[in-house]
Amino acid sequence: MGAGRFAPSPSGELHLGNLRTAILAWLFARSTGRDFLLRVEDLDRARAGAEEVQLRDLEAVGLSWDGIVERQTERTAGYDRALEQLRADGLLYECFCTRRDIADAPRAPHAAPGAYPGTCRDLTEGERARRRSERPAALRLRSAVDELTVADALAGDYTGVVDDFVIRRNDGVPAYNFAVVVDDDLQGIDQVVRGDDLLSSTPRQAHLAALLGAQLPGYAHVPLVLNPMGKRLAKRDGAVTLGDLSTGFAADGNQYDAVAPAAVRDVLLASLGLPAGPLEQALEVFEPAALPREPWIFDSPSTHWDSSTGTTPRHA
């Protein structure tokens, strides 16, 4: 049996949506007899001290993982090998487009919104040499398909765009859609559980995995946690991290007691229709088919925790 994983970016504290997805990734992996691995996606946007806080918070809600924590910045050789394989197969080309160039480029009437229009795909060597003197080049995949269908445990069959997406950015950093495929292959990941905002990227990743000869993992894209405005939960929404909740919070002019990590865990489990308590208890009754398919709305701490103690979860 392979492994599942949770792969946060150390750009700040994990919010409730991140923790909920991490719990789901753990439940999916453990319920299928897989290892559960933790990977820190630190190629960019790393904030000093954030990784340590994230690991602490994951442990505080009851998560455990197998083996050591791996980091993308320790995997340079693996990215280089995959890049050279794609180059040797003639599947890379230089792209000099800015975001404005891409937004303003003409597109065929049937072109998918947001897809790269192929501006730099067939530049002559002379044109590439001229453009190199103006700005560094990114590397794009010369995709052989326009779309691909992937199977998802929650979303069913999903068909999405596969364009000539970026493999290496023009600053030399491996792009997300490339790095995540290489990472999962090198770690033996055969189950990917993550937020459904990443579902649209999955056909690109599946196509790249096939080109690299990598194992295609099984996917499960889970609903997000949203604020009352229907936007993705974020730090700006107030008390949405363990750090915030552990120091107490104010709502409607009233001060509430601190919320313990166990109470946070219990509310997240209740939002999934699972029993409160240690994650092992939820694991005993975990059924992916019974999971909610709609986003969970988190409006304010006072809605989910008792105002007198701050530790008693209300029905979520």
Q: What pLDDT digit, counting tens, does each position of 177-189 carry?
A: 999 999 999 999 9
Helix (H, G, I), strand (E, B) or coil at 310: coil
**CATH code of the domain made up of 3-72+224-304:** 3.40.50.620
Tokens of 126: 């002379």
With contact defined as beta carbons under 8 Å apart, do 281 and 23 qualify?
A: no
Tokens of 208: 């790249």
Q: Alpha-carbon distance 41 to 74, whole Å?
A: 10
Length of the chain: 316
Beta strands 225-226; 296-297: pairing state:
parallel
pLDDT of amino acid 249 = 61
Q: Which of 12, 17, 24, 19 is nearest to 4 (CA)?
A: 24
6 is in an annotated binding site: yes
Helix (H, G, I), strand (E, B) or coil at 191: strand
116 is in an annotated binding site: yes
Tokens of 155: 């979303």
pLDDT of amino acid 84 = 98
Q: Alpha-carbon distance 220 to 47, whole Å?
A: 28
219 is in an annotated binding site: no
pLDDT of amino acid 309 = 47
Based on its alpha-carbon atoms, the radius of gyration of the chain, rounded to whole angstroms, reads: 22
* Residue extents of the structural domains in the chain: 3-72+224-304, 75-179
290 is in an annotated binding site: no
231 is in an annotated binding site: no
- The full DSSP string for 45-77 is ---TTHHHHHHHHHHHTT---SSPPEEGGG-HH
- Residue numbers in the chain where pLDDT is lower than 50: 251-253, 308-311, 314-316
Q: Alpha-carbon distance 39 to 185, whole Å?
A: 13
Q: Alpha-carbon distance 295 to 27, whole Å?
A: 18
Q: Which of 97, 79, 178, 82 is nearest to 135 (CA)?
A: 97
pLDDT of amino acid 113 = 74
| CB-count burial class (<10 Å; 0-12, 13-18, 19+) for 157 | exposed
Q: Alpha-carbon distance 71 to 95, whole Å?
A: 28
Q: Alpha-carbon distance 284 to 27, whole Å?
A: 10
pLDDT of amino acid 109 = 63
41 is in an annotated binding site: yes
Residue type at 300?
A: S
**In the sheet that 3-6 helps form, which strands lie side by side, from edge to edge?**
3-6, 35-40, 70-71
Q: Which of 176, 268, 156, 271 is nearest to 220 (CA)?
A: 156
256 is in an annotated binding site: no
- CATH number of 75-179: 3.40.430.10, 3.90.800.10, 3.40.50.720, 3.50.50.60? 3.90.800.10
How far, in Å, are 177, 249, 255, 287 from residue 12 at the CA level? 21, 19, 25, 31
Reported pTM: 0.91
223 is in an annotated binding site: no
